Amino acid sequence: MVLAKATDHNYHEATKHSVVSVQIDPNYVDASTQPQSFKTYPHFFRRFPLEPTHPTHQFLALTSAITYQKHYREGTHLLRVQPSAGALYPTELYVQVRGISGMLDGIYHLEPETNSLTLIYELIDDGIEAYFTDAGNDIRLVKGCILLVSCVYFRSSWKYRNRSLRYCFLDSGHHLGAIEASAYASGYDYQLLFDVDWPALNEDFGFETKEFFTAAMVVGEVKARATKKPVRRLRSPIPTVSGTDYFEPNRFIEVGYQATLRAQASADSAVPLQPRLLQQPTFPVQPAQWQEAIQQRRSARRFYPTAISQKSFLAVCDALHQPLPGALKTLEIYAVLHRVDEQSSGLYRTIDDKTLHCLKTGEFHTQTGHLCINQAIARDCAAIFFITSACHNYRVSLQQAGVVGHRIYLAATALGLGCSGIGAFYDDEVQAFLGTDQPVLYAIAVGQTTRPDLIT
């Protein structure tokens, strides 16, 4: 029955949480059975360490870097620049490089664990550009980088089962946000691409059904070819390499992903590859501060129930409403303010012009704690954002929510605040509280993580 719902595009309905569902299925797992979280190509593939003196290397390193280690009884967890549901990191990153000094033209797999690029395919007259669905006979070259985000979904479904369809797409959005952040810190312009011939790319990369592409980002100069001969698709397939040490298929996730490829991404998201400059985001802190925030970002585990300044809150709103080059944002964003100086507590809608529209006033911190499955971070935070969308394409909407969530993380970190993404909540209850008929995709809490008597 659940699979039938998924086939009818009701993935959100099929994976909702409620008070009853959480009690019936608390979702315990044996940590010793967790699949590996890094994909590695065989040793005979050529590897290139990411050099700190090479600008492109620096940019790429910051898109996926390991920034912290946590030691547990069952082993060490390597935490990265992007947050991930349960710190399971289902995403991988592939990079096409063309026309960059000191680098071979080719397709690389980025290995965060070794901080290196693995060359998996050398380019001749072919390339990823040929898979862009708007290309037609006028296929443009990208001088620079095309970055492809994929999901090895079993890393997430091992714990979250069907609901991991959401988390795979949200985590992909966070990875896009990490790429965006590195581009901003490095002074590079970029464009997002959601509408690509993903089935053909999945096949040519040898993913079988264990991994799938979700989005692309172009960082470089888009230019017409000097000759009339078009760029062709990859001459030969890339060898199949599994992203986990073992695998359990989940038909719900595979069918759900395939349905997002059949949906019309253009209904709410697709912008063809542009040769002209798209409007780029301008975040409320300088690139150097943004880079520090990238390195320091962590998910808060607790908040002190104390106020943050109105200026800081509005700066976070400024960051999340910046333009998203290559995407037509159709997200609606609500904010529940608990403890913001000079601002009445209550439920607000945040508008693209960075204004707040008050929907109702009141003290809702106990209620939001309950709505987020009784998590203290949702009760004790200064403010919590809820992101909704009409979801014309579920994959695209969730990825956009992940990008916006990543901006909130980095802006809060740069301002000395804590942040925590919340993917688990009582779906229908949150929807009713917000007074919307749109699915609720994500919640992000912002607040004070410094003990009140230590705040200067």
Residue range 235-242: average pLDDT?
A: 95
Q: How confident is the model at residue 74 (pLDDT cuts 50, 70, 90)?
A: confident
Domains and CATH numbers, the chain: 27-267 (3.40.109.10), 299-454 (3.40.109.10)
The answer, yes or no, to whether residue 207 has pLDDT greater than 90, is yes
Min mean pLDDT across 28-42, 62-76, 105-119, 263-277 is at 263-277
Interval 365-378: pLDDT, tens: 999 999 999 999 99
- Strand 75-80 with 47-49, pairing: unpaired
Per-residue pLDDT, 322: 94
Tokens of 166: 């959401």
Question: Binning pLDDT at 50, 70 and 90, where does residue 193 land?
Answer: very high
Please choose, from the candidates 330, 322, 418, the residue with its C-alpha nearest in 3D space to the C-alpha of residue 376.
418
Candidates 56, 324, 4, 343; CA nearest to 182 is 56
Out of 69-83, 93-107, 219-233, 311-325, which region has the weakest mean confidence (pLDDT)? Answer: 219-233
Residue 267: band (very low, low, confident or very high) from pLDDT cuts 50, 70, 90: very low
Scan for tokens 């998201």, then name that residue: 269
Q: Which residues contact 291 (CB under 8 A, 6 or more apart)?
A: 62, 185
User: To the nearest whole number, what is the mean pLDDT of the chain?
Assistant: 91
| Nearby residues of 221 by Cβ (< 8 Å), 6 or more positions away | 142, 143, 144
Question: Distance between CA 413 and CA 449 in Å, rounded?
Answer: 11
pLDDT recorded at residue 265: 46
Judged by average pLDDT, the poorest of 22-26, 42-46, 225-229, 449-453 is 225-229
pLDDT at 248: 97
pLDDT confidence of 440, banded at 50, 70, 90?
A: very high
Q: What is the maximum alpha-carbon separation in the chain?
A: 68
- At 193, the amino acid letter reads L
The answer on pLDDT for 303 being more than 90 is: yes
